[in-house]
Amino acid sequence: MTAREALKHFFGYDSFRKGQEDIIASITAGRDVLAIMPTGAGKSICYQVPALMLPGVCLVISPLISLMQDQVKALNEVGIHAAFINSSLTEGQIRRALALAAEGAYKIVYVAPERLESYDFLEFAGNVEISMVTVDEAHCISQWGQDFRPSYLKIVDFIRNLPKRPIVSAFTATATEEVKEDILCILSLIDPYVAVTGFDRENLYYRVESIRKKDEFVIDYIAAHPEDSGIIYCATRKNVDKLFEALFKKGVPVTRYHAGMDNEARKKSQDDFIYDRAPVIIATNAFGMGIDKSNVRYVIHYNMPQSMENYYQEAGRAGRDGEPSQCILLFSAQDMVIDRFLLEKKDFSGLDEEEAELIKQRDMRRLQVMEGYCRTAGCLRNYILNYFGEKAVTPCDNCGNCHREYQEQDMTAQAKQVINCVAETKGRYGLTIVLGTLMGADRARLRELGTVEYKTYGALKDYREPQLRSLISQMVEEGYLYQTQEQYSVLKMGDIAPLRDESTRVMMRIYQEKEPERGLDGRNSEKKKAPRRSTDALTSAGYDLFEALRKLRLEIAREESLPPYIIFNDKTLIDMCIKLPKTAEDLLKVSGVGERKQEKYGDRFLSAIESFVESHPHSVTTIQAREDEADGDGDGKLSGRQESKSSAKPKFDRAEFNRARNRPDGAGAAWSEEEDERLKQEFQEGMTMAEMARQHSRTRGGIEARLKKHGLIEM
Ligand SMILES: [Zn+2]
């Protein structure tokens, strides 16, 4: 089997993505490899395909238990025999897995680095043919990196002590020059092929929004994207809880995750998110390591992260399936204050003064880089790429800043009027009164308070309210004004001394939303177009079919206890809506449908498509088909797109959401051997039915039925 045949047969794809083929060719030719590829570039394919072609077994060393489990599930789903060995298994299970692996039952075995020293594992490794050792998250081997793991150093001895040196391949998504050198040296790669596919993620649209009313932004954003899955990162647990409450009250199917929750609750939140029961998650940065959910359409940062490394990694959890996705950072000057404060409070015990000072300086620099990102008027993508050492000059035309123009306006005189007005209020009134007064509003309340008699009444009547609002908020940021934090916050005078100096100016940026360059039909543009979502190719009928297939996927996912995206990802479902396959053969032509999945799920998807087509005669599912039908009528295109965007996107199904939440997680799911073992033990330890149901996230009835099956309770 060639690499391409393997790709088609198992994974259902016709062609490799950028960089993959060269890496695979090097490995299969027996050469070591170091590949630095951004998340979502398809790095696992780069070792999974060669593992199928090489003799013997391939060991993949990975630090993340949940990721291992996910990968093994996904491999088994496409019919590749794989297993993982880590601390989530009992000793008995590990022995069994190793025995099977020794008999050649698996092509790929995932293993945690700690395992490499254990007697059982060494004995196994000495007696089987290991054709390749793949080091995933290879940056963990470097002390320069942020995620240094001492256990990674054990890999070196492990490889050295194998009877025959295997091919060594190393993969990572982030590596500065120092980290790269470390990986090459410490792992002693021999004449390696080094592939750097770059940090750019073309499908991610970066945006920074300088706003104060973040909750409103988030609520509006989710309301405008009800069918999308997203992550919202907050800096603190308190923020997570607050935002969670606000969204939950609005009926948004949302869950939350932070280190203050107990293990069980966190696991449940994580699963609700992964299994799309709650497509939106509010979390601290404790969430996300090892989450491989491919259909995350947006990542919103409610607060500014503390470094670009963190931001790139967290925002990068959007769009792993390659579909256009948004990375939005909500910035307010207060974030800087909080971050500085957290930095000051950081615990440096155990470090000497000099070291502590160095780290402090490093952290402060990282913070400044992040602040620069939030405040830059330049291309956001280039800012990120430049930080990671890729020189990009031409603006990307696909980020928030590239799509907006601004002018600087000298607002010093206006700022002075604001200060005069606040002085006249003697710091007693809030923003609304100050604004109304300055604009000369005709309001009973202003007459009541007597501000209509002020000298500044109507002083800025020629300005629009939003502009004055941002002027005042900028003045608060710059310290000229002070806004109290109580419920009824009032504006007070800040430090206005600098304004007495004639040379001090208050410059304000006036942004204008730039119209997208392309014409409405998306064709008459010379410039690089913003990537469009694949669903844009669908008409409203096509979208209905997509929804129907998504429902079917969810149903199957629940039966199989698998995350929906492991069954098929969104892109594959959309391709089904476009190609409308009628036979198994047709279905295999759909991108992402391999032999095994065709056999397993093909009939159900084919009959869903068939019954949809039957019950919607004469309706076309793609814009293209409609255009063909409309015989080149220009109006047809436009109405088609509008329809696909505006109608047919269902609102949150609250009832279904509740149903999903009230029913325990695992209810109805297949029992694994491991879970059965646990259940038997719990029963023997005298646990009650209710406790066991809770432990297993199943219904009492489900537990009873299982115990009956094992003959532990009366029939
Ligand atoms: Zn840009």
Task: Give the tens place of pLDDT for each residue, 221-279.
Answer: 998 888 899 999 998 899 999 999 999 988 889 999 998 999 899 999 999 999 888 99
Same domain? For 233 and 283 the reply is: yes
Asked whether residue 527 is domain-assigned, the answer is no
Tokens of 244: 């969670």
Expressed in angstroms and rounded, the spacing between residue 447 Cα and the centre of ligand 1 is 48
DSSP 3-state of 33: strand
Expressed in angstroms and rounded, the spacing between residue 232 Cα and the centre of ligand 1 is 22
Expressed in angstroms and rounded, the spacing between residue 398 Cα and the centre of ligand 1 is 5
Please tell me which of 125-129, 211-215, 475-479, 636-640 the model is most confident about, judged by mean pLDDT. Answer: 125-129
Same domain? For 125 and 186 the reply is: yes
Structural domain boundaries, residue 259: 204-403
Q: How far apart, in whole angstroms, are the C-alpha atoms of residue 6 and residue 451?
A: 77
Expressed in angstroms and rounded, the spacing between residue 614 Cα and the centre of ligand 1 is 45
Amino acid at 442: D
Task: Give the tens place of pLDDT for each residue, 152-163.
Answer: 999 999 999 999
Same domain? For 586 and 676 the reply is: no
Q: How far apart, in whole angstroms, are the C-alpha atoms of residue 594 and residue 569?
A: 13
Q: How far apart, in whole angstroms, are the C-alpha atoms of residue 416 and residue 446?
A: 21
Residue 184 scores a pLDDT above 70: yes
Same domain? For 590 and 465 the reply is: no
Tell me the C-alpha to C-alpha distance, in Å, between residue 39 and each of 101, 315, 419: 29, 10, 49
Same domain? For 157 and 251 the reply is: no
Q: How far apart, in whole angstroms, are the C-alpha atoms of residue 410 and residue 471?
A: 11
Asked whether residue 515 is domain-assigned, the answer is no
Mean pLDDT of 557-572: 87
Expressed in angstroms and rounded, the spacing between residue 437 Cα and the centre of ligand 1 is 39
Expressed in angstroms and rounded, the spacing between residue 17 Cα and the centre of ligand 1 is 23
Expressed in angstroms and rounded, the spacing between residue 370 Cα and the centre of ligand 1 is 16
Average pLDDT, the chain: 83
Asked whether residue 69 is domain-assigned, the answer is yes
Expressed in angstroms and rounded, the spacing between residue 381 Cα and the centre of ligand 1 is 5
Expressed in angstroms and rounded, the spacing between residue 50 Cα and the centre of ligand 1 is 37
**Number of structural domains, the chain?**
5
* pLDDT score of 23: 95
Same domain? For 51 and 178 the reply is: yes
Asked whether residue 653 is domain-assigned, the answer is no
Q: Contact 234/282 with Cβ under 8 angstroms?
A: yes
Same domain? For 35 and 176 the reply is: yes
Expressed in angstroms and rounded, the spacing between residue 513 Cα and the centre of ligand 1 is 14
Q: Which residues surround ligand 1, an ion (CB under 5 A)?
A: 379, 381, 395-396, 399, 402
Mean pLDDT of 184-195: 93
Task: Give the tens place of pLDDT for each residue, 595-604.
Answer: 999 999 999 9
Mean pLDDT of 169-185: 86
Quick one: DSSP state of residue 399? B
Expressed in angstroms and rounded, the spacing between residue 531 Cα and the centre of ligand 1 is 13
Expressed in angstroms and rounded, the spacing between residue 538 Cα and the centre of ligand 1 is 28
Same domain? For 120 and 268 the reply is: no
Expressed in angstroms and rounded, the spacing between residue 322 Cα and the centre of ligand 1 is 18
Tell me the C-alpha to C-alpha distance, in Å, between residue 354 and each of 24, 146, 359: 46, 20, 9
Of 368, 403, 438, the last residue of a domain is 403
- For 602-643, give the DSSP string: HHHHHHHHHHHHHHSTT---BHHHHHHHTTT-HHHHHHHHHH
Expressed in angstroms and rounded, the spacing between residue 637 Cα and the centre of ligand 1 is 28
Of 169, 196, 223, the last residue of a domain is 196
Expressed in angstroms and rounded, the spacing between residue 401 Cα and the centre of ligand 1 is 6
* pLDDT score of 24: 96
Which one, of 659, 663, 657, lies nearest residue 251 by Cα? 657
Expressed in angstroms and rounded, the spacing between residue 371 Cα and the centre of ligand 1 is 17
Mean pLDDT of 106-121: 93
Q: How far apart, in whole angstroms, are the C-alpha atoms of residue 22 and residue 2?
A: 14
Same domain? For 222 and 317 the reply is: yes
Instruction: Kindly give, in sequence order, each residue whose CB lies less than 8 Å from that of residue 411, ignoring residues fewer than 6 positions away.
Output: 471, 506, 507, 508
Task: Give the tens place of pLDDT for each residue, 647-682.
Answer: 333 343 434 433 544 445 566 677 777 788 888 878
Expressed in angstroms and rounded, the spacing between residue 671 Cα and the centre of ligand 1 is 49
Q: How far apart, in whole angstroms, are the C-alpha atoms of residue 438 and residue 442?
A: 11
**Can you give the pTM of this predicted structure?**
0.60
Task: Give the tens place of pLDDT for each residue, 34-51.
Answer: 999 877 678 899 999 999
Of 145, 170, 196, the last residue of a domain is 196
Asked whether residue 593 is domain-assigned, the answer is yes
